[in-house]
A and B are shown apart, each in its own frame.
Chain A
Amino acid sequence: MKAGRRINVDLPLIFAALAITIFGLSIVFSAGQTDFRSPATGAWKAQMIWAVVGIGGAFAVSRASVRLIEWLTVPAYLFTLALLLALLVGLGSGAGTATSTAGWLTIAGHRLGQPSELAKLTVVLMLARVLAQNRIAPRSITELWKPMIVAGAPFLLIVAQGDLGTSIVFAGIFFAMLFWAGVPWQVLVMIAAPVISLILGFDPMIWGAFFLLFLALLLWYKPYLWEALLVTAIVVVTGVAGPLLWEHMPTYRQNRLKVFLDPSVDPRGSGYHVIQSITAIGSGGWFGAGYLHGPQKRLAFLPEQYTDFIFAVVGEELGFIGVMIALALFLFLFLRVIRIAERANDSFSSLVAFGLLASWFSHVLENVGMTVSVMPVTGIPLPFFSYGGSFMLACWLSVGILARISSEGRGGPAGPLRV
């Protein structure tokens, strides 16, 4: 196939993305229909413009060959790092659920956008580039030093901003792409072990059990000795350090984690968002209160109803049926992207496709999960739904890249959906 001359449009992909976008736009509109004026009231107009801009951007990107994108990857990645660094030197400010973080690039009081949204895209590209260079899948942690640096640098910069949610997304992207690159799951467990140890460190019994299982895994998989010793050492250290780290955590973040376990700990403070969100969703029943009529949203009980908690409006107004339709659309989109990754023409394209899937998927899992209190509250937006220009643009640019990969893929975009 000759790239750029003839584009086979991946219609299922485009239609799925379009359907979700229209669904999302209509919910942003509904979120603005409150009994007393709120900032959300006119948001749908801006969001519509951003969607159009995004679709235009997607079209433009789909005209560019994957090779061009691959060639642009390194400068784009370095540019992203520069922007993230700029935030740390005082150009950042907070907003939304993540008010306490400093994710917005702000110059002279004007918010220009969230570099972390761009980072999600460029890190996927850069990881794909680095991972695609390997002829055979890495079988040890040592061989993974490059991807670790590629994902680790922006990850640390974003953690430094105080944005826990986005860093979780990065972790999701990183592990998903290593998996797609064929890294054995035992290695993934070894990488993840320190973090798991950190969390389990609060309960000595559970931590002990985890540690024994971990040792068993090491004995079975037999990695390099020094690697095994190093990871084991880190696991022990983090297990001990966990409780200490907790003490030094800012209160607002402690509360968020505590509230995740039991929102009623602080119903007026940190737990307020979750309680109102699940109340809105729960009151929806099978069919919901009807489009535009959700009382929790209408009367401003539901906070951030057009940004981070927009999915609660779906639950309240359209009920369980509406939630099923929304999640079904996402499922369709995800399976379609997996198929694109499977059929991609080269490993770079395949990894990019799967990385973008991982990014969306971790957003949906975290955001939707948070609204029903199965995930902690973090400032993660819902793709194609949450109000926000940079994210809408980033989502549609991803669609553009996926469409291009799809059209360059083996056998073209056609072919029945296979689960």
Chain B
Amino acid sequence: MSFHPNDVLRRGRIASLLVCGVLVFLLSAFFRAQILKNEQYSLQSEENRLRQIPTAAPRGKILDRNGKPIAENVVGYSVALLAQNEDTLRTTLTKLRSVVQLTSKQFEDAVNRFRRDRNRPTVIIQDASFDVVSVLEEHHQDFPSLLIQSAPKRIYPDGQAVGGFIGYISEINQGELAEMAKDGYKAGQLIGKAGLEKQYEKDLRGREGVQFVEVDAHNRIVPNGRAREDVTPAEGPTLQTNIDLDLQEYMHTLFADTIEAGAIAMVPQTGEVLAMYSSPAVDPNRWVGGVPAAYFDSLLKDPRKPLYNKVLQSKQPPGSTFKLATSVMALQDSLITFETHMPQACSGYYYFGNRTWHCWKKEGHGNVNLFGAIAQSCDVYFYQLGQKLTLTRIVAGGVGLNFDKRSGIDLPEESKSEFPNALPDYFNKKYGARGWTPGEKELNLAIGQGENSQTILNMAKFYSALATDGTEPVPMIRKGEPKKGAKMALAPDQLALLRKAMAGVLQAGGTAAASAIKGIAVAGKTGTAQTLRFSKTNGKPLYWAWFAGMAPADAPKIVVVVMFPDVEFEGSTAAGFATKIIERYLHTKVDDASIERTG
């Protein structure tokens, strides 16, 4: 061992230099991390601890024409979890079950939400009751990753009354997300799923806010953590509608959900939809935040099909309400005038093609002109008018009056009405080339039976044209510039005479004379189409009972169409409901002076 002092000092020098060198090297590594790359690591440290929690924005309110709320928001609570992975999520959910009730659907939904978007907090209860929230607040220590946020809750103050058009909102699903992600929609957000809420989703949508919370490595939320300032959510714009809530509520009480029916009330000149009701109605409030399974089941099982919208989706033969269309075609072609009689007077039946074609009135209407034929709804008159028109003209005329199209209302669920639109292909396709004769089709279509299925909405649009200068309005629920459709080629005086004829329906001798209202001249037309089904209780035939009407007859301010499917009564009874709606509207909304004048 060489321990000569000189050797030791030499080695000591080397060792000292080595130690210094290594520590300087280490220090340089710190300098690089702390000074040169400080920004990068500071950002990463912030990313570690700060979570951006989206805060739901209230949707825009939906108001009726007088500013009364159809849809608004109240304060609600949502419960969400910051989960690290699926295992911790499941563990926490299981643990939560010992404190609050969680259905297995809520459990699985939460897991699915987590899979869809891991970066957003996983919503467990979308609309938690105050009780649940207070229980969870009590146990907050046990669930440090739980996030209770105030979340605006959608309510529809009139509930069922507006169920026919308002739709509902619910959580965006995977398919919708794929489509709407480009517009900035994110998993977990609530969107309009039907009706007005869906139609104007992008207009009603609010701007989501951001809440910053500080979390630790296990996603536990630090109470009063050192986070950034929150961005408050912004409520969506208000949607003004043409709906008259008073009339809407009146329809709700009128039909009382005991009967299957659909009804619409419109301003004929502008297409403003005043009210629209499908009975029995669904309660949109119960759909918010997920429809309860039991309620949904009861709706599905109800034979009156509450989920099937009678105004928008249901289509059925218009029956005698179509006779006005037949009349319009004949008048357009100058085949007849209002005074024209048919070759054969009505004796209650009509022979054609080795068959007896009955009039609805067994004893017959006798010899009537167009006024009488409309007022009394004489089938025999219109059989002959149909023959005069020929099938080619009826089909072309129906298409010309848009009976094979949608009305174009601003709602997503409207069905397309059905009417033959190509001769002879339409019938050939349906019955085969030898399965039909043009003759019987002429008779059937002329009285609104046969291959003619109309929505209430489409009929309302046609009657609105009759109520004005012949221009079809596009039915609109949102308030705005009216949209005009096609205009039928008919002189104003002829339209006035048609209204006069329709006014006869509610006068003595007319089919709906019993439904006349004092002080208001109502014009309209009943319709009774055979369903070829029979009542299960008494074996009586079931009808589609229609009434399409307008008032005041000389200058209509409102058009109302009602329809009852599968009922034992006829269009004359339907008329009673329609005139009540008209009466309600004109008495409350229109100044009495004008009504007195028209009376």
Is A36 among interface residues, defined by CB-CB distance under 8 A?
Answer: yes
Cα–Cα, bound, A35→B220 (Å)? 10
Binds B, one of A53-61, A128-136, A149-157, A236-244: A128-136
Number of A interface residues, CB 8 Å? 57
Give the residue of B16, B38, B45, B217 whose beta carbon is less than 8 angstroms from that of A335: B16
B44 touches A299 (CB 8 A): no
B23 touches A181 (CB 8 A): no
Binds B, one of A14-22, A44-52, A202-210, A322-330: A322-330
A342 touches B38 (CB 8 A): no
Query: A299-B217, A334-B19 known; A282 and B26 CB under 8 Å?
Result: no
Task: Please provide the chain A residues from 333 to 350 with a CB less than 8 Å away from any CB of chain B in the complex.
Answer: 334-335, 338-339, 341-342, 347, 350
Binds A, one of B1-9, B458-466, B549-557: B1-9
B residues less than 8 Å from A368 (CB atoms)? 26
A320 touches B34 (CB 8 A): yes
Cα–Cα, bound, A283→B3 (Å)? 48
Task: Please provide the chain B residues from 46 to 61 with a CB less than 8 Å away from any CB of chain A in the complex.
Answer: 48-49
Is A315 among interface residues, defined by CB-CB distance under 8 A?
Answer: yes
Cα–Cα, bound, A298→B1 (Å)? 52
A299 touches B29 (CB 8 A): no
B residues less than 8 Å from A35 (CB atoms)? 216, 220, 222, 225
A residues less than 8 Å from B29 (CB atoms)? 369, 372-374
Is A291 among interface residues, defined by CB-CB distance under 8 A?
Answer: no
Question: Which partner residue on chain A sits nearest B11 by CB separation?
Answer: A180
B1 touches A131 (CB 8 A): yes
Is B102 among interface residues, defined by CB-CB distance under 8 A?
Answer: no
Is A193 among interface residues, defined by CB-CB distance under 8 A?
Answer: no
Cα–Cα, bound, A283→B216 (Å)? 16
Q: Which of A282, A285, A320, A323 has the most CB of B within 10 A?
A: A282
Cα–Cα, bound, A136→B218 (Å)? 60
Give the residue of A135, A176, A279, A374 whose beta carbon is less than 8 angstroms from that of B41: A279
Give the residue of B2, B12, B222 whose beta carbon is less than 8 angstroms from that of A339: B12
Give the residue of A34, A319, A357 whose beta carbon is less than 8 angstroms from that of B34: A319
Is A194 among interface residues, defined by CB-CB distance under 8 A?
Answer: no
B1 touches A182 (CB 8 A): yes
Question: Which partner residue on chain B sits nearest A346 by CB separation?
Answer: B3
B48 touches A301 (CB 8 A): yes
Query: A281-B34, A299-B216 known; A327 and B8 CB under 8 Å?
Result: no
B1 touches A181 (CB 8 A): yes
B26 touches A365 (CB 8 A): yes
Is A148 among interface residues, defined by CB-CB distance under 8 A?
Answer: no
Is B22 among interface residues, defined by CB-CB distance under 8 A?
Answer: yes
Chain A nearest CB from B31 CB (Å) reads 7
Is B33 among interface residues, defined by CB-CB distance under 8 A?
Answer: yes
Chain B nearest CB from A320 CB (Å) reads 4
Chain A at the B interface: SS class: helix
Task: Please provide the chain B residues from 215 to 259 with a CB less than 8 Å away from any CB of chain A in the complex.
Answer: 215-218, 220, 222, 225-226
Question: Which partner residue on chain B sits nearest A361 by CB separation?
Answer: B19
B12 touches A342 (CB 8 A): yes
A283 touches B26 (CB 8 A): no
Query: A320-B34, A339-B12, A350-B3 known; A282 and B19 CB under 8 Å?
Result: no
Chain A nearest CB from B400 CB (Å) reads 69
Cα–Cα, bound, A373→B22 (Å)? 15
B218 touches A300 (CB 8 A): yes
B45 touches A315 (CB 8 A): no
Task: Please provide the chain B residues from 24 to 46 with a CB less than 8 Å away from any CB of chain A in the complex.
Answer: 25-27, 29-31, 33-35, 37-38, 40-42, 44-45
Give the residue of B8, B41, B144, B217 whose beta carbon is less than 8 angstroms from that of A281: B41
A residues less than 8 Å from B45 (CB atoms)? 279-280, 282-283, 295-296, 301
B41 touches A301 (CB 8 A): no
Chain B nearest CB from A48 CB (Å) reads 26
Task: Please provide the chain B residues from 378 to 403 with a CB less than 8 Å away from any CB of chain A in the complex.
Answer: none
Is B127 among interface residues, defined by CB-CB distance under 8 A?
Answer: no
Is B15 among interface residues, defined by CB-CB distance under 8 A?
Answer: yes
Is A419 among interface residues, defined by CB-CB distance under 8 A?
Answer: yes
Question: Which partner residue on chain A sits nearest B27 by CB separation?
Answer: A327
A182 touches B7 (CB 8 A): yes
Is A168 among interface residues, defined by CB-CB distance under 8 A?
Answer: no
Query: A323-B30, A361-B19 known; A279 and B2 CB under 8 Å?
Result: no
B49 touches A136 (CB 8 A): no
B7 touches A281 (CB 8 A): no
A347 touches B27 (CB 8 A): no
B30 touches A331 (CB 8 A): no
Give the residue of A276, A285, A331, A341 whose beta carbon is less than 8 angstroms from that of B38: A285
Q: Which of A284, A319, A330, A373 has the most CB of B within 10 A?
A: A284
Is A354 among interface residues, defined by CB-CB distance under 8 A?
Answer: yes
Cα–Cα, bound, A301→B23 (Å)? 27
Chain B nearest CB from A50 CB (Å) reads 26
Task: Please provide the chain A residues from 132 to 164 with a CB less than 8 Å away from any CB of chain B in the complex.
Answer: 132-137
Is A278 among interface residues, defined by CB-CB distance under 8 A?
Answer: yes
Is B469 among interface residues, defined by CB-CB distance under 8 A?
Answer: no
A residues less than 8 Å from B144 (CB atoms)? 36
B11 touches A182 (CB 8 A): yes
B residues less than 8 Å from A278 (CB atoms)? 33, 41
Is A179 among interface residues, defined by CB-CB distance under 8 A?
Answer: yes
A residues less than 8 Å from B7 (CB atoms)? 182
Question: Which partner residue on chain B sits nearest A335 by CB separation?
Answer: B16
Question: Which partner residue on chain B sits nearest A180 by CB separation?
Answer: B11
Give the residue of A36, A180, A286, A372 whose beta carbon is less than 8 angstroms from that of B35: A286
Chain A nearest CB from B475 CB (Å) reads 57
Query: A281-B41, A283-B41, A320-B31 known; A299 and B214 CB under 8 Å?
Result: yes
Query: A296-B45, A335-B19 known; A286 and B1 CB under 8 Å?
Result: no
Q: Which of A281, A327, A369 has the most CB of B within 10 A?
A: A281
A296 touches B48 (CB 8 A): yes
B11 touches A179 (CB 8 A): yes
Subset of 16 A-B contacts with CB under 8 Å: A136-B2, A180-B11, A182-B2, A280-B41, A281-B30, A283-B42, A286-B35, A296-B48, A299-B216, A315-B34, A338-B15, A341-B8, A342-B12, A357-B15, A369-B29, A419-B20
**Interface of A toward B, CB cutoff 8 Å:** 34-36, 131-137, 176, 179-182, 276, 278-286, 295-296, 298-301, 315, 319-320, 323-324, 327, 330-331, 334-335, 338-339, 341-342, 347, 350, 354, 357, 361, 365, 368-369, 372-374, 419
Given contacts A283-B45, A347-B3, 19 further A-B contacts (CB under 8 A): A35-B225, A131-B1, A132-B1, A182-B1, A182-B7, A282-B33, A285-B34, A285-B35, A300-B217, A301-B49, A319-B34, A327-B27, A339-B12, A342-B12, A350-B8, A357-B15, A365-B26, A372-B29, A374-B26
Q: Which 7 A-B pairs have the closest CB atoms?
A: A282-B41, A299-B216, A182-B2, A283-B45, A300-B217, A282-B33, A372-B29
